[in-house]
Amino acid sequence: MAEISASWLIRNANVVLEDRTVSGGVLVQDGVIRRILTDEEEVEDGEALGAVDGQGGWLLPGFIDMHVHGGFGADFMDASRESYDAITRFHASYGTTGMLATTMTASKEAIEAVLAAAEAYREGEMPYAALYGVHLEGPFISEKWPGAQNPAHITDPQPEWLKRWAESRPGLIRQVTLAPEKNGAKETIAWLAEHGIVAACGHTDALYADIVSAADAGLTQAVHTYNAMRGLHHREPGTLGAVLTEERIYAELIADGMHVHPAAIRLLLAAKKTDKVILITDAMAAAGMPDGDYELGGLAVVVKGGEARLREGNALAGSCLTMIGAVRFMLEHTELGIVDVSRLASGNAARQLGLFGRTGSIAGGKQADLVLTDAQFNVKQTWVNGRSVYASDSQGEMM
């Protein structure tokens, strides 16, 4: 990791702000964005001790990935600092500055091991992308829509588990994915909402009315929209119909061209607009690795042509996507410009997590979580709290 001075400047870049882009740069002091500079503005003597030349590329707010299982051969279920370093370093090289460690449907003991490891990781030095907390994807999901989750560990919501985990590790659990139609789900959703934890529907067979009722209780997010959920029917709109039409629900999106067709992405954007869609990777350990045999949640996975599928059943098993890959896909396959796509990759997740006051956009007073790309949106450098956590001198992406 490159060390930089406490006061420094990124110049000669196209800076992506919340509502526009400006040609200029950003002044950072002690890890905080102090000023947005246009090309015409000058930095006073002594204001900046170092400078980074953006070479006419793009300067974006760092990406926030609310749903990621692993990368570069490691999985958050490994519950080790070595694996967490590998995952956060890999995704930082593709512009991610913050993420949630996402679990799989697993035994109570395996989930508790992840909680312990994630807490220990957050208490120590986090040298790469920041771990904001944990996203529990299951085990409170539907047996009808397991996807790549291990059905052996699926159970009804267990609020006592959640309460004990939250009491023993305050603030660590940031999102819980469950099936709202299951016994005890509505009460669990209400408890999650009361305690500031994002309640998300996913791997669910819920009817339209179930999702609306869940939103009344505090449900605010849908996991990997279109995938592993009851689809749309004109007489029973189902989970998908409720997600598309319920304004209180953010919709996660895996924009890799494998999980969701570009036309379905455009439909989602038409229904939800750009303030209610969140780009995620759902990346597994194979992200950044060669094709071959891998494992996800104890299940055998085969990766071919960058597509991950279960060996038995052939269901999609997470992805090999990176956040910058999702950004490029959206720019290529939708009519959105970089300002809107940046909102999907950073700002919306920051708002959901209650972090927008300090990150998720480039603005004075926010921490310098930044990613610099070239003109083709290849990541050149990533900063977390103003500290460089990845830098590349090549034109391509690090693998």
Q: Would you please indicate which residues are annotated as catalytic (active-site) residues?
A: 282
148 marked ligand binding residue: yes
Q: Which amino acid is at 268?
A: L
- Rounded Cα gap, residues 127 and 387, in angstroms: 9
- 34: exposed, middle or buried (C-beta count within 10 Å: 0-12, 13-18, 19+)? middle
69 marked ligand binding residue: no
Please tell me whether residue 244 adopts helix, strand or coil conformation: helix
Contact 349, 275 (CB under 8 A): no
- Rounded Cα gap, residues 341 and 356, in angstroms: 16
316 marked ligand binding residue: yes
Please tell me whether residue 51 adopts helix, strand or coil conformation: strand
235 marked ligand binding residue: yes
318 marked ligand binding residue: yes
- Rounded Cα gap, residues 294 and 309, in angstroms: 10
- Residues ≥6 apart with Cβ < 8 Å to 299: 148, 150, 310, 311, 312, 317
Report residue 28: phi and psi, to 5°. Answer: -120, 135
Report residue 97: phi and psi, to 5°. Answer: -110, -15
259 marked ligand binding residue: yes
Among 131, 84, 91, CA closest to 399: 91
**Angle 262-272/238-245 helices, nearest 10 degrees?**
50
228 marked ligand binding residue: yes
Please tell me whether residue 35 adopts helix, strand or coil conformation: strand
Residue numbers belonging to the annotated binding site for substrate? 148, 227-228, 235, 259, 316-318
Residue numbers belonging to the annotated binding site for Zn(2+)? 137, 203, 224
